Amino acid sequence: MNKLLIVFILLLLSFYSCKKGKDSEKDPCSVLINGTYQFPTIPAHDTMSSGEIVEYINLPKDICSCISTDGLVETCCNYPDIELYLVAGPVGYPSGYQLLAQHFRGIVELESRKDEVESLLNKYKSIDTSQIYGWKTFFLELTIGRDSTISHSINEQRKALVGYLMANYLIKQKLNKYFGVYMTEGTIYAMARIMYGAKFKPLIDDYAVNDKIQALIENDYYFNDNQVVNTIDSLANIYLLIK
The per-residue pLDDT string of the chain (243 residues; one tens digit each, 9 = 90 and over) reads 455 544 444 444 444 444 444 443 688 899 999 999 999 998 887 788 889 999 999 999 999 999 999 999 999 999 998 999 998 988 888 999 999 999 999 999 999 999 999 999 999 999 876 665 678 888 999 999 999 999 999 999 999 999 999 998 888 887 765 555 667 888 999 999 999 999 999 999 999 999 999 999 998 888 778 899 999 999 999 999 987
Output the pLDDT for position 133.
63
Domain membership flag for residue 22: no
Output the pLDDT for position 45.
76
The size of the chain, in residues, is 243
Domain enclosing residue 146, as ranges:
49-241
The answer for 34, left when phi > 0, alpha when psi is -120 to 50, beta otherwise, is left
Q: How far apart are CA 243 and CA 238, in angstroms?
A: 10
Q: What's the total number of domains in the chain? A: 1
Q: How remote is the C-alpha of 122 from its chain's centroid? A: 12
Output the pLDDT for position 131.
64
Predicted model pTM:
0.84
Domain membership flag for residue 225: yes
Q: Which amino acid is at 108?
A: V
Domain membership flag for residue 163: yes
Domain membership flag for residue 197: yes
Output the pLDDT for position 44.
80
**Cβ neighbours of 47 (radius 10 Å):** 6
Q: How far apart are CA 147 and CA 111, in angstroms?
A: 9
Output the pLDDT for position 171.
84
Domain membership flag for residue 73: yes
Angle at 202 between CA 197 and CA 204, to 5 degrees: 45
Domain membership flag for residue 23: no
Q: Is residue 234 helix, strand or coil?
A: helix
Domain membership flag for residue 15: no
Output the pLDDT for position 140.
93
Output the pLDDT for position 222.
82
Domain membership flag for residue 150: yes
Alpha-carbon distance values, 215 to 45, 220, 240 (Å): 43, 6, 23
Angle at 153 between CA 70 and CA 229, to 5 degrees: 100
Q: Is residue 36 helix, strand or coil?
A: strand
Q: How far apart are CA 43 and CA 37, in angstroms?
A: 18
The answer to whether 179 and 132 have CB atoms below 8 angstroms apart is yes
Output the pLDDT for position 190.
95
DSSP state of 132: -
- Please list, in sequence order, all residues whose beta carbon lies within 8 angstroms of the beta carbon of residue 131, skipping any fewer than 6 positions away: none
